[in-house]
Amino acid sequence: MLQRRMLVEVSRPSLIGALRQRLPAHGRLQPARRWATAEAGENKSGHISTTPNEGILFFIGLVPVNLQWLHRFTWFLDRRKSSIFKDESKFETIGAVAPTKVVQDAIKNSKLGLGKVEIVEVLPRLKEGGAFVKFNHDEVTDSATVAEAVRQHLSQHHVRAWWNPFNTVRAGLVLGKPWVEDLFRLPSRRLRVEFLPPQPGAEVAELSQEQLYSFFRPYGKLSDIVTQPSDSKVVPRYAYLDFARLGKAIMARNCLHGFTVNEAQGGGKLGTVFRLTYEKKQRTTWAKDWIFGHPRIVIPLLAALVAGLAAVIFDPLRTLSIRAHITRSFHIEDNVVFRWFKTQSEDLIRRVKELRHGVDTAEAGMQVVWEDRKAEIEQIMSWLMETTDTFIIVQGPRGSGKKELVLDHALQHKRDAHKEARGDAATISAAAAQVGYRPVFSSLNNISGLIDLAAQGMTGVKAGFSETLENQLSKIWNNTATALRSIAVEGRSKDDIDANLTDDEYLEAHPECRPVVVVDNFLHKSGESGSALVYDKLAEWAARLTTSNIAHVIFLTNDVSFSKSLSKALPDRVFRTISLGDCSPETAKRYVINHLDFDAAAKKDSADEDEETRKLTPSQKRKDLRELDDVIPLLGGRLTDLEFLARRIKAGETPSKAAKEIIDQSASEILKMFLLLGSESKDWSPQQAWTLVRSLAHSETLRFNEILLLDAYKTGGDKALAALEQAELISVQSFNGRPYSIKPGKPVYQPAFQRLVEDKVLAAKMDLALLEGAIGNENKSIDKYEQELHLLGELPKQPGELTHRLQWLLGKIAGSQSKIEGYEKESAGLKKILVSEF
């Protein structure tokens, strides 16, 4: 049987005499010497030398293994290790128990008939949380008996450490030749077992998993045994053993390192030696493998985690930023000190501007317009004071002053609670900038899209990192709604009469406290791809604001078909609508005259003018203003055109000349945008636009359905008319939702159309294109009729029932041919114009 050795700890000198008196002569501990050596073995050789009558015990659980990081401080440990083990009382204050005390008590209370036992030395193993104890014994005692006595003692008394009450101190007999090193190799639960020959060059046997299990399982639960692959060329041969607990691996490594497996145990003829080393096992490998092995689960979870963190961290900041943007908390223009300085210096700045540049005429004459639209302003103000859960819509063509009417006049008293949000934002950054949504990471959406694309290639599904335009807009507007709600209820106080009302009840009872959201340019780009989604989501968000009594919503639009889009969001509501048209001729004339007289007081009188002339206004001094009665009906009441006219008259032109320049400019715009080559659109053709221009030049109003019967509008006519209306070439009037008439898009377009038709070369070119299209359509019809005739002619017998059909087809062919001949005659005349005139 294999000889075994056991390690016993030395007792203190003060206790030896007492133990001698209590133990029999054959079992007494003899006076011993104890040397505390370093962790490098005896004489720093890395080994512990033994004789046949000596054994080694390994104790574990004396000090915490989790303090392995202290091993880095080698300069401190080299100085303190020996002092700890020299003074046993000092060690007991640090460790669980002194090894010498355990051995002393075990020998004293043992019933195994132990003989003389003497402890030689103690070798600490701080990084492994234990110590080696070398002892010698007499001939009647063997190491295994001493080890069994110590094991029974520890099993009965359960010595526990104060820093780990769940584990006990354990001891094991060292069967091999331990390598005592002080390298910075920390223990781990995985051991690498290398199979070495007892002599160099001898053969070695590779133990199987069953054999390794029988040797190492007594030291603790094994979780796995991994043998070397059979085709591996690595020598020496090895195997991995994974212990369930770290302490078990430490005990096995120190007890079996250098152990020789004989032939009977499966080690071959000459035997096999174990060389054990700690193998650091990558604890995160399983997590990494699981993450990379299950992307369909991990990537969506990661996306959800990122979204959750963003919602928790950034959403409150964004809501605060929107609130500050709406209330203008950080705008210097609203600062009290700044406003005081602005008020004090406003008159001086205005006077300097008048002297150097003249008066700014941007608002010149607008007072006349606002007086004319006073009823509309008061109507909007009264609607804002009422409890309503529907939209307020201000519709009118471009240049009709919708924005100024609402923002500068109807909402003067709600400037602080008002925030304008444009509905034509095509990007997330533009939408966020309108409401103060910060921070916004719109540029990261492209990167997230690439990540989603890569994840979809690997897993087959999108990860969800990138968000659609719909989701991002919803986030922006939801945060805006939260900020608006907080602004609406910020004026509440506990002393109010209705303090017991909830926020919803309070907002319903106090419509004057609700902020006002103005959506400008609604449906401005409804024809572009992707814009429909933005407008629909914006209408849905506005509907939530109104139905929840969070805010009033006013839409400003020049699109007459706004009800189609808004009715999807509020299908059961009647909208409150104000339509702004062109000014009346009287108001337009007053606007131009007031525009001329606006800065009369700022100009110095000429020295050569008499007193009576000086009292006249600039408009009274000009005799050519009588032409306004003839000019204004041509230009209409569109504010932008009237302002252009007033500026030209002020520059010295006569009203007739100024009007002629405006008409010519409008004609050039129409020619460039709708008639010339390159102005084609996917929704209309230059021939279709010219048909309307030619017809409206002779009549101010056209029948909608009559236009659809023309050759140019037989295919896609409704779509073409809607696109031309959106482009503002025409305006379509409706009755009960049914379009019935077509007018020019702007009043000035009527004389512009006439100017274009009077151009013989242009008219000949466009009419020729129309005739060519008509000839082509008639030829297609004749081909269709002829094909049917050919099919009927192949019948073996002509039945009498086909007589009327044949006559009808022949009549159609004759009629189309007659039309073609007429078109060709007209084309010949038009070609003569093109070749004879410039």
* Burial class of residue 349 (count of CB atoms within 10 Å of its CB; 0-12, 13-18, 19+): exposed
**Are 251 and 218 within 8 A, CB to CB?**
no
Q: Provide the CB-side half-sphere exposure for 270 (13 A, CA).
A: 12
Tell me: pLDDT of 253 over 90.
Answer: yes
Distance of CA 28 to the CA centre of its chain: 80
Q: What is the pTM of this model?
A: 0.57
**Are 553 and 540 within 8 A, CB to CB?**
no
Q: Which neighbouring-strand residues pair with 170?
A: 60
Element (H, E) at 168: strand 164-168
The mean pLDDT of 225-253, rounded to a whole number, is 93
Torsion (CA) 76, 82, 84, 89 in degrees, nearest 10: -160
Query: Per-residue pLDDT tens for 411-430?
Result: 865 544 444 444 444 457 67
More confident residue, 680 or 357: 680
Query: Per-residue pLDDT tens for 731-742?
Result: 888 887 788 999
CA separation for the pair 572, 469 (Å, rounded): 28
- Res. 468 pLDDT band, cuts 50 70 90: low
What is residue 357's predicted lDDT score, i.e. its pLDDT?
43
Query: Per-residue pLDDT tens for 233-243?
Result: 899 999 999 99
Q: Select, from the ranges 171-185, 643-657, 750-764, the one with the highest average predicted confidence (pLDDT).
A: 750-764
CA separation for the pair 572, 376 (Å, rounded): 25
DSSP H helix total and E strand total for the chain: 31, 20
Domain 190-281 has CATH 3.60.15.10: no
The mean pLDDT of 16-27, rounded to a whole number, is 35
β-pairing, 260-261 with 272-278?
antiparallel
What is residue 359's predicted lDDT score, i.e. its pLDDT?
44
* Residue 375, token pair as written in the block: 């009823």
Q: What is the DSSP letter of 410?
A: I
The mean pLDDT of 758-763, rounded to a whole number, is 93
Query: Per-residue pLDDT tens for 777-789?
Result: 999 999 999 999 9
Whether the bond into 236 is cis, omega within 30 of 0: yes
* List of residues 6+ apart from 622 with CB closer than 8 A: 596, 649
More confident residue, 282 or 782: 782
Q: Which neighbouring-strand residues pair with 424?
A: none
Q: End-to-end CA distance of the chain: give it in Å, rounded.
A: 126
Domain ranges of the chain: 13-173, 190-281, 317-329+361-579, 774-838
What is residue 28's predicted lDDT score, i.e. its pLDDT?
39
The fold of 317-329+361-579 is Rossmann fold (3.40.50)
Tell me: pLDDT of 816 over 90.
Answer: yes
Same fold flag, 190-281 and 317-329+361-579:
no
How would you write 11-56 as a 3-class SS string? CCHHHHHHHHHHCCHHHCECCCCCEECCCCCHHHCCCCCCCCCEEE
**Are 102 and 159 within 8 A, CB to CB?**
yes
Torsion (CA) 478, 481, 486, 491 in degrees, nearest 10: 180
Query: Per-residue pLDDT tens for 701-755?
Result: 999 999 999 988 988 889 999 889 888 899 888 887 788 999 998 899 999 999 9
* List of residues 6+ apart from 103 with CB closer than 8 A: 8, 9, 10, 11, 57, 117, 119, 133, 135, 150
* List of residues 6+ apart from 345 with CB closer than 8 A: none
CA separation for the pair 165, 427 (Å, rounded): 63
* Rounded percentage of the chain residues whose pLDDT exceeds 70: 77
Per-chain mean pLDDT for the chain:
79
The mean pLDDT of 802-823, rounded to a whole number, is 93
Q: For residue 478, is it left (φ>0), alpha (ψ between -120 and 50) or beta?
A: alpha
* Residue 146, token pair as written in the block: 């001493």
What is residue 823's predicted lDDT score, i.e. its pLDDT?
93
Cα separations (Å) of 418 from 405, 517, 547, 552, 753?
Answer: 15, 6, 18, 10, 42
Of the candidates 258, 267, 30, 296, which has an alpha carbon nearest to the alpha carbon of residue 141?
A: 30
Largest CA distance in the chain: 150
CA separation for the pair 356, 368 (Å, rounded): 27
